[in-house]
Amino acid sequence: MTVVRLGIRTQALGWVLAAVGVFLLTADMVLLGLNAARVDTGRVALNAILGVAILAYTGAGRLITSRRPGNAVGWLLGLIGITIATSWPAWALRILTRPVNAAGTRLYSSLPPSGNNRG
């Protein structure tokens, strides 16, 4: 009975590993969509290639861990997929949170300096 439980937990962990990879890929694609106006086509192509790599690594890791839970290669492939997925969306978040040159910013910069700043 204990061996069956361990197998169920291992299967669940494999599914969680794959789900985290897909969730992070989805978050990456959402950030890419939000930054569509600021992203060039080269970065979009690179993002698509890395998306395929994330799916390939996590998918192969899930397949191997479902058939042979004791095989470390499956777990390593899944972790590589998650590592790629966690390191890649950082650029999109930086672009998304960069300050935008809004109308108020231009208006403020066109005002003359205040009188107490004479030097």
Domain interval for residue 68: 2-97
Q: Is the dihedral of CA 59, 64, 65, 70 positive or negative?
A: negative
User: Would residue 102 count as lying in a domain?
Assistant: no
User: Would residue 119 count as lying in a domain?
Assistant: no
How many folded domains does the chain comprise?
Answer: 1
% of the chain beyond a pLDDT of 70: 68
pLDDT at 112 over 50: yes
96, 31 contact by CB (below 8 A) = yes
Question: d(Cα 9, Cα 14) in Å, to the nearest integer?
Answer: 9
Question: Over the stretch 45-71, which tens digit does the pLDDT of each residue have?
Answer: 888 888 899 999 999 999 999 888 888
User: Would residue 88 count as lying in a domain?
Assistant: yes
pLDDT at 22 over 60: yes
Residue type, 39: V
pLDDT at 104 over 50: no
> Pick from 52, 55, 50: which is nearest to 92 by CA?
50
> pTM for this one?
0.67
DSSP per position, 4-15: HHHHHHHHHHHH
User: Would residue 114 count as lying in a domain?
Assistant: no
